[in-house]
Chain A
């Protein structure tokens, strides 16, 4: 006996539409659930979890030694000023670089002058600053490698423990601050820079000393460093607290 095709398609359509409706409802409920979760640093916690998972994937499976692209001198562009959080006031006349090193037998704190940083081997590099908003600038930086700074002034951190060692930096007024894992901080292209495009840094670009870290979005390239703190926990991060990825690395 041949079944009536019209009847059969009607019943199949009904079944499929019910399945589809259930699936759509489940999807909608999942969306609603995700959207209404309590916030963890400015973003629904499942999304924060996903950002952290992506970070772990990057840190565990990618090679920290890979270099960011460098450019020929002809590619250098002019700087772009995009934010002044933490540098609204003039550079403090008594500026010095404060360094805090947490260790198992107490914290060590000391101060350095710009001359102390300039005494380290000078490096020049032309890299692309990538703003998290989407624009980029190819800029020529002059300064000292952060790893050379560590070797000279915090030698116990040269052999860092990637799972536990971090470094935080903040502006003198502590209004802008970034946190970094040591692998990115110790990368050979991470600089404590005092020159941009062949000239001493201007106030807007982070005088007297700023961080240049081409492995991270611009938000991590802190201007006007007031304090560097070596820590055993994840340091706070200004934009990381406002919904952005704490890691923000390439």
Chain B
């Protein structure tokens, strides 16, 4: 028998969907800032495999010659991004939702199982519960990354007032690289997240919208 089952609390759904445009705006304004000194690349010596970023990429986001604007937007939305993130963490801590989200000692083993299964390297379906090990690791990592962005951002924004953080993280230049890598990390997370949501199907995506999922009741009386 099919029944409706509550899955995601309303607060978490709001935090999630509010975070999406906020993070997108932080990435966009960050790109406007990065454009002004776009020196990062993957390469060796004189050989560059990948330059961050190619001209067409800036063109796509209309990002050139907009440093002042980028900084103004970044230093405006950073507050909303930080508040939404902090509210999410506080909510999950207080409500007890963290129990489903924080990895436990089975998470890593299960995450490997999930990965093998998803890549069609294993036929053994991982155990089903609210969040599997791979999700627990991913969703906790993304929160830690958010905290990392706030801390590295603080160290770049106020490298004298928070000079001890800047120094502890390797100095101003290193912190900028870390902040940039975290930004790339969100993009990578986004791609995998979208692919996984696609695979999981409408019932799963719908539960992030409505809060409810249709499940087959096993032993309902």
Contacts and interface: CB of A to CB of B under 8 A. Distances in A.
B95 interface: no
Contacts of B21: 27
Chain B CB count within 10 A is highest, among A58, A63, A133, for A133
Given A66-B163, A250-B161, A6 B72 contact: no
For the residues of A in contact with B, the DSSP-based class is: mixed
B36 A67 contact: no
A132 B3 CA distance: 57
A128 B212 contact: no
Contact of B160 (A9, A23, A67): A67
A13 B206 CA distance: 7
Given A9-B214, A51-B75, A130 B68 contact: no
Nearest to B166: A69
B75 A250 contact: no
Interface string A42-85: 11101110110010001000110011110000000000000000
Contact of A245 (B33, B71, B163): B71
Interface string A112-145: 0000000000000000101111111000000000
A12 interface: yes
B196 interface: no
B88 interface: no
Interface residues of A, number: 45
Interface of A: 5-6, 8-9, 12-13, 15-17, 20, 23, 27, 42-44, 46-48, 50-51, 54, 58, 62-63, 66-69, 128, 130-136, 214-215, 239, 242-245, 249-250
Interface of B: 2-4, 17, 21, 33-34, 36-37, 39, 67-69, 71-73, 75-76, 79, 157-161, 163, 166-167, 171-173, 176, 206, 209-212, 214
18 contacts: A5-B214, A12-B210, A16-B210, A23-B17, A42-B68, A47-B73, A50-B79, A66-B161, A67-B163, A68-B160, A130-B172, A132-B67, A132-B71, A133-B36, A134-B39, A214-B160, A245-B75, A250-B157
